[in-house]
Structure 1
Amino acid sequence: MTFEKLDYLMMVAEERNVTKAARRLYISQPTLTNFINNLEKNLGFKLFDRSTTPVKITTEGKAYIQKMHQLLLEEQHLIESLQKNSLAKNEFRVGIGQVNSEVSMPGLVERMLKKHPFLNITIHENPEKRILEDLKKDRIDLMFGHISLDTVNFVFEEITEQKMCLLIPENLLDPYTFYPENRRAEVNTYDIANKIFPNNSQDDPVQIDPEILYNMPIIEPDTSQALYINLRNLASSYPIHPIRVLRTANMITATTMLQMGLGYMYTSPDLLTLTRNPNSKKIIYCKLPKMKISRKYYAIYKEDNPNKEYIKESIGIMKEIMKK
């Protein structure tokens, strides 16, 4: 039985006349009559009493039509659900922050496509709070981020522990702060990176006095960024009173302003990979006493997600990428 054939029966029941029903169905009256006769023969009971005018639907006929309509609707919903599930297996949606997307997603996508060449991959680059909302509402399959809340509804798998430090353009630092008084004549404002910290790197940030940051301009992430929480924790632990605050949710904009020397940031050194500015100020990697210099990076997903195969593969690839 199909919806089309069920319509034949429902039209006869509505019109209570086989000829009128056939006319509305755009089929001949003999075709409709033969269909009803054959169906009643197979069922073993009458659907309509055609000995009267108008035609009457029998008790059995009414029950049969109602039940068949219900079964056909259930079948249609099942087919749509299975089709949606099948389509989902060919689409994979990943949510990730802008900085880590730049660093890792091209390599991850390349390796996923080598194994699944027909896989459609959508990358959602947004602040972590927004990505988490997308995950809750099933708009993405997997997210990478630093948020470690709501462990009941999600599965958290640690990817790596990322470095954190203060990135300070050298033009914002006073060289005399770092040089003994009897040698201050040897340096100028633009010699900090080369002469004072020649071996400075993200693996060996120089420890500075918190007072150095007093009245220094700062570049802050938007409040929707996970980095904002880290910065607030830093500000509550040290006497940081910036002379001005530049806030943006766009990390490329933040990086450009940092490289122009417009302010310092507390973030991952990977941020510097977002842009290549030939006129960039030299950046000094710094830390404060007892400052948190790392934060955990997670893969987060729902246990019942149908794309579990892609999720597990992506997590494995991301772990390898982040080791490099």
Structure 2
Amino acid sequence: MEYILAVIEEKSITKAAKRLYITQPTLTKYINQLEDEYGVKFFDRSTTPIRLTEAGQLYVEKKKMMIEEERSLRSQLKSIEDKKITLTIGSGHTRGEKFLPYALKQFCDLHSNVDFCITFPDEIDFYKKLKSGAIDLAFGVIDVTNNMDIEYLEMTVESMGIVVPTEWGFLPQDADPSLTFQHPLPITADMLNGRDVIIPGRSTGADITFMEMLSKYNIQFGRVITANNMIILRELIQYGLGYSFISVNKQIPRNCILCSMPGISSKRSGRCAYIRSHPHVELLRELSGMIFQSIKLLG
């Protein structure tokens, strides 16, 4: 897996081989053998830079999940041996970076016998991972509809919206783009057709609504960029690289306007969730409360 990730990150087999301190033929042979084993091509070598095929994307996604679950299993087994408790938290990237450190500091001061494993899986997989035991607590966007085995605490209600670069000229020249934060500009699908798009990755929790919008209105697009981090998404839009569907709780990115389309959800809930029958449910309730306090404090 390390070899595959190196090629993805370096976008070149030659550069990846140098990084791994192996020869380029050795790395090429490894990739070829892996592709022969699965009977599919993981990389499209006809493009520059080299990129993953659809099969390659699926392989990497599933392998990351397996590695994460193996790490969690080892941690849990070790905690049994050491008579300690290990809790695995699955979090969205932005929320986790901002709110977990403070909450964990408060929790750890009270519970010296609890270890933690913090992971950042795709938020769409939160429920499945809770059910399988891969994570003990989900912190982010999780659908609790009809999931009676889930106990949860509402954390945030986020405003979501279609954000478009100002340079596209949707607003009159004398209009103030910042006013669209309170009064989003109504747009039509035709205004987005053929435009460059930045698609939220699975780990952002925003991809489902966005893809539903594209499908509902049959929107075609030009260049496609996929990003798994909301901070990067905002930066890409600011530089005019495309439009996207992002969280706009406090402000919209600079050089951008906020737009709306009929039938597109503008709200989503962030939650802490866990299995109601979890053996350490009281600890999970306590930790969820501390995360809530962290959000109130750090906002």
| Same topology, TM > 0.5 | yes
Counterpart residue type for residue 280 of structure 2: N
Question: Deviation of residue 85 (structure 1)?
Answer: 9.0
Tell me the secondary structure at the aligned position of residue 285 of structure 2: helix
Where structure 1 has 5 or more consecutive residues not aligned to the other structure, the ranges are 1-79, 188-194, 274-279
**2:186 paired residue among 200, 208, 231:** 208
Question: Deviation of residue 301 (structure 1)?
Answer: 1.0
- How do residues 213-292 of structure 1 correspond to structure 2 at under 5 angstroms? 213-223=192-202, 226-238=205-217, 240-269=219-248, 282-292=255-265
**1:197 paired residue among 173, 177, 195:** 177
The residue aligned with 2:94 is: 99
Tell me the secondary structure at the aligned position of residue 225 of structure 2: strand
1:233-275 CA-partner distances (Å, limit 9, x unpaired): 22234353222221233445434423322111112126989xx
**1:137 paired residue among 127, 132, 138:** 132
Counterpart residue type for residue 273 of structure 2: I
**1:308 paired residue among 281, 295, 299:** 281
The residue aligned with 2:165 is: 169
Question: Deviation of residue 151 (structure 1)?
Answer: 0.7
Structure number with bigger Rg = 1
| 1:319 equivalenced with 2:292 (yes/no) | yes
Change (3 A) 1:81 1:105: closer
The residue aligned with 1:151 is: 147
Equivalenced residues, count: 219
Question: Deviation of residue 168 (structure 1)?
Answer: 2.1
The residue aligned with 1:20 is: none
Contact 1:94–1:142 (CA<8 Å) still a contact in 2? yes
Tell me the secondary structure at the aligned position of residue 148 of structure 1: coil
Change (3 A) 1:87 1:118: closer
Contact 2:203–2:229 (CA<8 Å) still a contact in 1? no
Where structure 2 has 5 or more consecutive residues not aligned to the other structure, the ranges are 1-76
Q: Which has the higher strand share?
A: 2
The residue aligned with 2:84 is: 87
Distance 2:258 2:105 in 1: 32
Question: Deviation of residue 94 (structure 1)?
Answer: 0.9
